[in-house]
Amino acid sequence: MTETLFLTSGEIADLADPAAYVDAVRDAYRQVGEGAPADPRTKLVNGEPPGFLTTYAAVLPETGAMGGYTYSAGFGARDAWFVTPLFDAESGEPLAILDGASMNPYKTGAAGAVGVDALAREDATSLAVIGSGAQARGQLKATATVRDLETVWVYSPTKEHREAFAGDTNPELDASVAAVASADAAIEDADIVITATNAGEPVFDGEALEPGTHVTAMGQYDPSKRELDHATIERATYVPDLRARALQDAGSFLSALEAGVVDEDHIHAELGEVVAGVEPGRTSDTEVTVFDSGGTGIETVAAAYLLYERAVEEGLGQSIDFSPASEALTGE
């Protein structure tokens, strides 16, 4: 029997700032780029009541942790529930179980920021955000830790939502944040474009991207989700979080692939390979780059272990007992 820490969403909500998440997630992608194992999601879809159950996992040997997410969305509750099991990567023993609700926008935002840091121009100062929900806020806060942003334009279809986003985030950043009336207005002259939506159709015209723009798309975790058009995919040096995920559920890439606009060789590299220096990232100031972030166990394990360590330091959480399989089988 071993003691395992249970951490509530409230207990871990304020344990780390965006910069700490980014550092942990960057190192995790480096490990995967150097060969640490990570798999894309497994998604089980239910018809009635409508919903899905998703899992994904990663092993981070240098961090000393492994685990991932199991989460449900939809069903009767019409909501999402995030459970994060965390294991010791040497002994295999369970370290913690985290309610992942509060960390979700931060760990996902950190993955997006690592993509920006690896692929955007060093002198990028202007940012367009398409979307105004929790994920968009997480992306913005994390990205602000890796580039000296001066101007942020935000667009989402509901005027009240985009204006509230700008009003809430403007005091928190050194950059000026303003709501605009269209996606076209948001991406005009933007050095970085972030899409954080549930869109099933492209949210901007890829032909309108300026040379040298970097795009982080984080709402493409299902073949039906398609934030980016064929022009964006075709123009870009295309880097997903995991190559296998791009071929499994990255909606925009799969659409371009099916249309014959690109082939599988259009995948330039995985993000971890770029972070680790195994493959090059941006090679010119005029190159359009895309990081396709659909969610993996890489950022999840990195963030969960960061929060676990800090919770232990502060004496947070409730200890629960776990029995090993041998004990359960033998009764000893």
Going by their DSSP bridges, the two strands 2-7 and 94-99 should be labelled as parallel
Q: Residue 210 has what DSSP assignment? A: P
Bridge partner list, 177: 152
ω before 49 within 30° of 0 (cis)?
yes
Euclidean distance between CA atoms 8 and 263, whole angstroms:
44
pLDDT per residue as tens digits for the range 260-294 = 999 999 999 999 999 999 999 999 999 999 999 99
> How much is the pLDDT for 269?
98
pLDDT per residue as tens digits for the range 187-199 = 999 999 999 998 8
If pLDDT is split at 50, 70 and 90, which confidence band does 332 have? low
**Mean pLDDT across the chain:** 95
Q: Say if 2-104+297-330 and 121-292 have the same CATH topology.
A: no
Euclidean distance between CA atoms 81 and 69, whole angstroms:
10
Structure tokens at 121: 């121009």
Residue with tokens 């459970």: 83
Q: Please report, for the chain, the start and end positions of each structural domain, with discontinuous segments joined by +.
A: 2-104+297-330, 121-292
Taking alpha carbons only, the member of 51, 79, 63, 80 closest to residue 295 is: 80
Res. 176: pLDDT tops 90: yes
Residue with tokens 């700008």: 166
Cα 218–chain centre separation: 6
Burial level of 263, CB count in 10 A (0-12/13-18/19+)? exposed
If pLDDT is split at 50, 70 and 90, which confidence band does 331 have? low
Euclidean distance between CA atoms 206 and 226, whole angstroms:
13
Which pTM does this prediction carry?
Answer: 0.95
Euclidean distance between CA atoms 200 and 255, whole angstroms:
11
If pLDDT is split at 50, 70 and 90, which confidence band does 76 have? confident
Is-contact 16 310, C-beta < 8 A? Answer: yes
* Section 34-57 average pLDDT: 94
Euclidean distance between CA atoms 92 and 140, whole angstroms:
35
> How much is the pLDDT for 259?
97
Euclidean distance between CA atoms 290 and 271, whole angstroms:
10
* Section 49-60 average pLDDT: 95
Structure tokens at 258: 């099916």
Domain 121-292 superfamily per CATH: NAD(P)-binding Rossmann-like Domain (3.40.50.720)
Structure tokens at 310: 């800090």
Euclidean distance between CA atoms 215 and 332, whole angstroms:
56
pLDDT per residue as tens digits for the range 298-327 = 999 999 999 999 999 999 999 999 888 888
> How much is the pLDDT for 163?
97
The CATH code of the domain at 2-104+297-330 is 3.30.1780.10
Euclidean distance between CA atoms 142 and 276, whole angstroms:
20
* Section 20-33 average pLDDT: 98
